[in-house]
Structure 1
């Protein structure tokens, strides 16, 4: 689910880049968020009465983090290659992965960090300052998004939490992008963005919401190291952005780190629950044949 989510995100971003000339980076992100929020409301129809105040607050903050993540990242992509922007944004999940315990997880985190270093090549000093700042801001929002998505997913059944947070993100995105949209938006652009909103963010966010119920935050954060590699590949195939040998080596490291995260990523609560159920079943004595008749 997480890999499918990342592929959908990067494909949606690559397909949205050509619209930058007409709508701008903020306008493109704002329309996607607006359509995404509307689609989630129509498809899920959340019942707000079933939410506690704390749950609604968490969903609201999650929506704000989602909006910030997408808006800042679209601005970063307007100044940086897709693979580089994704690698810098991955610093958010990488920070989350540091919360994990155990030597194995630290190894995957270190490999992922090395991969990101090779992908960005900071020693060349050629990164656009605005793009760098926006990518790092998106990274911070992504870290908050991961932490709150698991919290909301654990407390709210189904996708109802996402159906509340996404409209919040859509509203914020629309308000921020409105000044750049009114004089440029067309019916054709609205239709294209509706399709792109289904590809990203609706599908990937739903998949991530479900994946975080099955993985620890640390494992999920490390698994996200695959996203720069996926972005690099899609940037090559869709946008014609050719990576160098160093970037290819960085892809290799993040793929290895992602594979390692999958092996060590089961949530302890789920694992322990399964073990307790198995232990209880093993300890429960089976009724002896004829016991009922004897009684």
Structure 2
């Protein structure tokens, strides 16, 4: 996800110290984005190792607990001061947050990490394409659609339920983005996200208890679930806080599009989930659609 905007021809040269500082920040930002994406996918892969013992539901429950613990510390929401106008999008965000993770992890269990994350990525891609009316965006939409058709082509072994859960995760991610905008406009800082994570964790508390009673976790399974929560929730969130202050939004969005590729590689290396050339072609189409859309986006007009 490289591709910094070209400098004007007449741009003055920066002092050596300033240029070095900006270069260091840029390198740090790229390294953080790479680490965040890799951490997210490795966390999902490690979490899937606990599926045979506590299932995707148990892993998601633990992940929700870890996310809530981290976000409550970072966001410090003042829950007693929330009005109903602030509470209702927070509650919806909590439901979407839990549903998104549950559908994604169940899809990972059924169709593999690479395909599940690629299908989930259609959510933010759809939001981005729906915001504009350019011909290039229509072409990107067609390219992404071709990728999805390739991934979901009928075969004797096609798991349509797993594919459907991946698409449900995509719809939840799109809703998550829209709700986060609403929450962010009504609550300062990360208070809304923290409150939503706390509510989601409370919703999964009885689920976690039922799973623990009927499927007692082994130390290894519990460790994998906690690692998934840390690597897929805590680390990416804190990394994004650092990155978004140092990296332009288009560059951040372009790098995010690499996540399906990272997921496919991690699934292959850690889980032995190999993909054929049609699957790789489908992933490339979805990633390419997002990359083209971002790289051809018009910069905002100066006031």
Instruction: Classify the TM-score, shorter chain.
Output: 0.7 to 0.9
Q: Deviations over 1:143-193 (max 9, x none)?
A: 211211222234433222221111122222333343222341355544543
Whether 1:201 and 2:241 are equivalent positions in the alignment is no
Provide the TM-score with structure 1 as the length reference.
0.76
Q: Which residue of 1 aligns with 2:135?
A: 103
TM-score normalized with structure 2 length: 0.74
Specify the alignment match of 1:82 in structure 2: 113
Structure 1 residue corresponding to 2:294, chosen from 227, 245, 262: 262
- How far apart in 2 are the matches of 1:181 and 1:75? 18
* Conservation of the 8 A alpha-carbon contact between 1:223 and 1:262: no
SS at match of 2:111: coil
CA distance in 2, matches of 1:232, 1:187: 28
Pick the aligned partner of 2:162 from 120, 131, 136. Answer: 131
- CA 1:189–1:228 in 2, change beyond 3 Å: closer, same or farther? same
Asked if 1:140 is matched to 2:140, the reply is: no
Alpha-carbon distance in structure 2 between the residues aligned to 1:181 and 1:228 = 32
1:284 is aligned to none
RMSD value, Cα: 3.2
Which portions of structure 1, spanning 4 or more consecutive aligned residues, are displaced by more than 6 angstroms?
none
Tell me, yes or no, if structure 1 residue 16 matches structure 2 residue 38: no
State the distance in 2 between where 1:208 and 1:177 align. 28
Task: Note the C-alpha offset of 1:204.
Answer: 2.9
Query: What CA deviation, in whole Å up to 9, does each residue of 1:173-222 have, x standing for no partner?
Result: 333343222341355544543333121123334566886x9759xx96x9
Structure 2 portions without partners, runs of 5+: 1-31
Which residue number in structure 1 is paired with residue 269 of structure 2? 237
Q: Do residues 249 (structure 1) and 281 (structure 2) align?
A: yes
Per the TM alignment, residue 226 of structure 1 is displaced from its structure 2 partner at its CA by 3.5
Q: How does 1:8-87 map to 2 (within 5 A)?
A: 8-48=39-79, 51-87=82-118
Aligned partners of 2:257 and 2:291 also within 8 Å? no
Q: Between Structure 1 and Structure 2, whose CA radius of gyration is higher?
A: 1
Distance 1:257 1:175 in 2: 41
- Measured in 1, the distance between the counterparts of 2:94 and 2:258 equals 24
